[in-house]
Amino acid sequence: MARPARLRRRNCYHGRLSGAGQAGVVPAGPPPGSSIVSHYDHILCIGAGYVGGPTMAMIAARCPHLKVTVVDINQARIDAWNSDDLPIFEPGLDEVVRAARGRNLFFSGDIAGGIRDADVIFVSVNTPTKTFGQGAGQAADLQHWEKTARQILAHATRDKIVVEKSTLPVRTAQAMERILNHNGHGLRFDVVSNPEFLAEGTAIRDLEDPDRILIGAHETPEGRRARTVIADIYANWVPRERIIESNLWSAELSKLTANAFLAQRISSINSISALCEATEADVDEVAYAIGTDSRIGPRFLKASVGFGGSCFRKDILNLVYICRGYGLDEVADYWESVIAINDWQQARFVHNMLANMFNTVAGKRIALFGFAFKADTGDTRESAAIGVTRQLVAEQARVVVTDPKALDNARIDLAPQAGLVEFEPDPYEAARGAHAIAVLTEWKLYRELDYARILAGMERPAFIFDGRNILDHARLHAMGFNVFAIGKAPLKHF
Ligand SMILES: NC(=O)c1ccc[n+]([C@@H]2O[C@H](COP(=O)([O-])OP(=O)(O)OC[C@H]3O[C@@H](n4cnc5c(N)ncnc54)[C@H](O)[C@@H]3O)[C@@H](O)[C@H]2O)c1
């Protein structure tokens, strides 16, 4: 299929692609022929979160000729970035930060100074779902983002390129440009959209070897120039043919659309998992069978208790809100159903627990294996485990949560349930005296536990509800567990 004229990759560039696709951090010099980038060597990122921190650390590590500063209003977060105990857990992140911090990577609370110094400002602040007023529960809350625009305006003393790294509603750049360029000081701000596609848990791998970098800008001489500046930064380690150029609105909308499509695949296979349970088909076999079709592909077809994470839900809700704003109710309804299936899948999981544990879990100890929204992260935002825990507590179960990286966040999420939930780092201790285990995060360590030892300490009948389909169900059943997986016939002893 021909690529749309305005959505194109840059001409193939065979300059110095230092370390593209390799593990480890290999410092690179400026790309040959990049005449523009040398004038734009002070990079600032506003927002030192899950995106801003790792993304800037990678840019600094790969571009030692650039000075990269990351600022945040949250001084505790900045202090943590400057310590040995980084504020987020990501495999490989420590090494990347250590390679550049203090050399050309700086974390600072001095937002005004950072803005004054910068040639290019990435904005990577949070854009959660709005909880108040018009659009509450669906629209993106742009207050942090707009404050950032005003901060830039207040402190800038020369022209700058402003890069939208946050995920934003389509056409947000227009508002940003209006705020920035009506400044009365004759300063010029070129706004570029460069959405981030990293996935938590694999952020460093994704940043080192991205499928693509997307940069949207106005099709004007100034817009194209700004886009080239940003492309030149990435070209230090990303092959040019993976750097996609588009117009501003396409770039903004592509990020929302990518997350909607990914979430849709999960909801699609989860909807089929319910039918598998009703018919004794096996959802993993169905997923394998359809995933070998090259038109469908194998990824994102793993049935589970439902998707979580800070992005999928909020970005789909935002897409739904935008569609309704344009009068596209059928389109909005279509995407809203992706969330409806996800909510239903979580509720169905707890319903199955109750139904199979003789319709009551009151007073029963239930060990939740995993609280992070996915493996290899400590992030619990929108984790399915939050809803599952709340429902079990409402049923008066004695819930004990275990997770190798997410217990601190779990304590915050479950503050309203304080005193009703136990937190236990050791999964063997969590399962001691339990009636049931529910696996909610696909941590590898849960596959490798000694389940015979676990079973010996549990109440009988002992139940395992595998919300991630990661365990060896036949083996657990043979040991004596009653095993309930997603989209599979139950393996019971009664
Ligand atoms: N987390 C992900 O996996 C992911 C992936 C791709 C895109 N995104 C998008 O990237 C954006 C950031 O996400 P995140 O997960 O890094 O969020 P986050 O909440 O972890 O980090 C945002 C940071 O911005 C800071 N901040 C807010 N307002 C500020 C201001 N005015 N000045 C300075 N700092 C300010 C906050 O204190 C916070 O530390 C969001 O739009 C999100 O949708 C996230």
Residue nearest ligand 1's atom 20 by CA: 49
Q: Whose CA is nearest to atom 34 of ligand 1?
A: 72
Ligand 1 centroid distance, CA of 435 (Å) = 39
From 241, 237, 307, 292, select the one nearest 467 (Cα to Cα): 307
Among the options 45, 63, 276, 311, which is catalytic?
A: 311
Q: Could you read off the pLDDT tens digit of each residue along the chain, which spans 494 residues?
A: 334 433 333 333 222 223 333 333 334 444 544 545 557 999 999 999 999 999 999 999 999 999 999 999 999 999 999 999 999 999 999 999 999 999 999 999 999 999 999 999 999 999 999 999 999 999 999 999 999 999 999 999 999 999 999 999 999 999 999 999 988 889 999 999 999 999 999 999 999 999 999 999 999 999 999 999 999 999 999 999 999 999 999 999 999 999 999 999 999 999 999 999 999 999 999 999 999 999 999 999 999 999 999 999 999 999 999 999 999 999 999 999 999 999 999 999 999 999 999 999 999 999 999 999 999 999 999 999 999 999 999 999 999 999 999 999 999 999 999 999 999 999 999 999 999 999 999 999 999 999 999 999 999 999 999 999 999 999 999 999 999 999 999 999 99
Verify cis geometry, omega within 30 degrees of 0, for the bond prior to 461.
yes
Q: Which of 126, 172, 259, 307 to probe ligand 1 with, by most ligand atoms within 8 A of CB?
A: 126
| Residue of the CA atom closest to atom 18 of ligand 1 | 49
Residue nearest to atom 4 of ligand 1 (CA): 51
Question: Model confidence over 358-415: pLDDT tens digits?
Answer: 999 999 999 999 999 999 999 999 999 999 999 999 999 999 999 999 999 999 999 9
Best residue for ligand 1 mutational test, from 204, 205, 310 (most atoms within 8 Å of Cβ): 310
3-state SS, residue 107: strand
Strand order in the sheet with 213-216: 8-9, 243-246, 213-216, 189-193, 160-164, 120-123, 42-46, 67-71, 105-108
Q: What are phi and psi of 137, to 5 degrees?
A: 85, -5
Q: What is the 268 CA–ligand 1 centroid distance (Å)? A: 29
What is the whole-number distance in angstroms between the Cα of residue 45 and the centre of ligand 1? 11
β-pairing, 243-246 with 8-9? antiparallel
**What's the gap in Å between 165 CA and the centre of ligand 1?**
9
**Active site includes 63?**
no
Q: Which residues on adjacent β-strands are paired with residue 423?
A: 401
Nearest to 227 by CA among 214, 237, 240: 214
DSSP 198-229: --TTSHHHHHHS-S-EEEE--SSHHHHHHHHH
User: Among positive and negative, which fits the CA dihedral 285, 286, 289, 294?
Assistant: negative
**Sign of the four-CA dihedral 333, 338, 339, 341:** positive
pLDDT tens readout for residues 264-298 = 999 999 999 999 999 999 999 999 999 999 999 99
- Give residues (CB < 6 A) around ligand 1: 46-52, 71-74, 77, 111, 124-127, 144, 147-148, 151, 166-167, 196, 198, 200, 310-311
Give the mean pLDDT of the chain. Answer: 92
Buried b (16+ CB within 10 A) or exposed e, 154-167: eebeeebbbbbbbb
Distance of CA 350 to the CA centre of its chain: 25
